[in-house]
Structure 1
């Protein structure tokens, strides 16, 4: 599988898990929306640190 397809597959799996959890927990639309907001907020908080510390180095590698 090509390298650029991995983020697509991960995104599809994450979306599928959200839909599966929503149906299995029988939450309302509001509960599902709030859960998604909380989930992505936590992901952003945890990924912010590595991005700030390692991001400039990655950017320099990409530029060349």
Structure 2
């Protein structure tokens, strides 16, 4: 039989990143755990603020 899937699965890509030493972001850790809608909104607002501070082109509005 032949393998019809050319790319790695999502789990394989995540595992490879962890093995290479990459650390997950705070938002990814919190989203994976139980998050209230208020905390989620705060995390997204924080991420947008950080993104806008680090990038010239503003993609997201605050």
TM-score for both structures, normalised by structure 2: 0.40
Higher RCO (Cα < 8 Å, 6 or more apart): 1
Q: Answer 1 or 2: which has greater helix percent.
A: 1
TM-score for both structures, normalised by structure 1: 0.39
